[in-house]
Amino acid sequence: MLPDRDFFHALADAARAETLPRFRTGASVINKLAGGFDPVTEGDQAAETAIRALITDRFPEHGILGEEHENIGLDREHIWVIDPIDGTRAFISGLPVWGTLIGFQSNGRATMGLMDQPFIGERYFADGARSWYSGPDGEQQISVRDCGRLANATLFTTSPHIFTGDDLAKYRSVEEKVRLFRYGCDCYAYVLLASGHVDLVVENNLKPYDVGALIPIIEQAGGIITTWDGGRPEGGGNIVAAGSKAVHAEALALLAGR
């Protein structure tokens, strides 16, 4: 048995009940990284626990890959991919561009996904065929836009500071050719792309849970998302997403060093 739209929304609602009451409240932050800063909050952990409880009850035969708790059954046919708060730095800074990511894979391929931003009341969902937006201004199917070429593109990345060495040089080679670049949106940048508001997202060193829910949202809106060498993105790594084949090809040539 496969999940339906209502179940995805139930998962997002369960996560929302844990994250939203903790947003802009000064919730405690734990640093997961010695020698650096990789924050996790009570909201991250509680939201993933709530999501996992519903999945385990409804689909005990499914695997679960999540950021905050132990992975289960990654060799199974169907796997849930969870990032309870993507953009924890934004969350602890009071910036409402973080989101809850809930993805679903079948045989290693991302097929359904949801991104929820509860503070502003927006939800993006890929149902297996099409991508949808629901929010304060209603519900509608979404699709990417085609800006024609890289020189016309609006580019997002979380921060140029995520890139070092050769990756930084490759990223800068793309940034210097676009019309406009902006920083700091984490998962929200990808749903802006799926909705036709921006044209390109470039990031590196992502984990599978950072992109698992976003892959079907972008692809089912007509966009393209791959690794920098053109491979499938389910495993994370260096990621490029674009609204058109032409822009993707131009960016990929630079990112692959061709």
The tens digit of pLDDT for each residue in 46-78 reads 999 999 999 999 999 999 999 888 899 999 999
Q: Could you identify the residue written with the tokens 């508001």?
A: 197
Same domain, 116 and 156: no
Same domain, 51 and 132: yes
Same domain, 108 and 27: yes
Same domain, 107 and 207: no
Any bridge partners for residue 240, and if so which? 202, 226
Same domain, 131 and 212: no
Task: Read off the pTM.
Answer: 0.94
**Number of separate domains in the chain:** 2
Domain ranges, residue 77: 5-141
Whole-angstrom distance, CA of residue 93 vs CA of residue 81: 25
Same domain, 202 and 134: no
Pick the range with the lowest mean pLDDT from 29-33, 172-176, 221-225.
29-33
CATH of the domain at 154: 3.40.190.80
> Is 237 a residue whose pLDDT tops 80?
yes
User: What average pLDDT does this structure show over 4-24?
Assistant: 96
Same domain, 55 and 119: yes
| C-alpha count within 13 angstroms, C-beta hemisphere, residue 229 | 4
Model pLDDT, residue 257: 78
Rounded to the nearest 5 degrees, what angle is found at the Cα of 121, between the Cα atoms of 119 and 123? 120
CATH of the domain at 30: 3.30.540.10
> Is 34 a residue whose pLDDT tops 80?
no
Same domain, 50 and 137: yes
- Across the chain, mean pLDDT equals 93
End-to-end CA distance of the chain: 44
Model pLDDT, residue 37: 43
Same domain, 184 and 208: yes
Pick the range with the lowest mean pLDDT from 14-28, 43-57, 232-246.
14-28
> Is 31 a residue whose pLDDT tops 70?
no
Model pLDDT, residue 80: 98
Which residue, of 122, 141, 160, is where some domain finishes? 141
Which residue, of 141, 168, 193, is where some domain finishes? 141
Same domain, 24 and 99: yes
Same domain, 95 and 25: yes
> Is 29 a residue whose pLDDT tops 90?
no
3-state SS string over the chain?
CCCCHHHHHHHHHHHHHHHHHHCCCCCCEEECCCCCCCEEEHHHHHHHHHHHHHHHHHCCCCEEEECCCCCECCCCCEEEEEEEEECHHHHHHCCCCCEEEEEEEECCEEEEEEEEECCCCEEEEECCCCEEEEECCEEEECCCCCCCCHHHCEEEECCHHHCCHHHHHHHHHHHCCCCEEEECCCHHHHHHHHCCCCCEEEEEEECHHHHCCHHHHHHCCCCEEEECCCCCCCCCEEEEEECCHHHHHHHHHHHCCC
- Do the Cβ atoms of 77 and 168 come closer than 8 Å? no
Summarised one tens digit per residue, pLDDT across range 178-222 is 999 999 889 999 999 999 999 999 999 999 999 999 999 999 999
Summarised one tens digit per residue, pLDDT across range 112-151 is 999 999 999 999 999 999 999 999 999 999 999 999 999 9
Same domain, 182 and 241: yes
Which residue, of 141, 166, 190, is where some domain finishes? 141
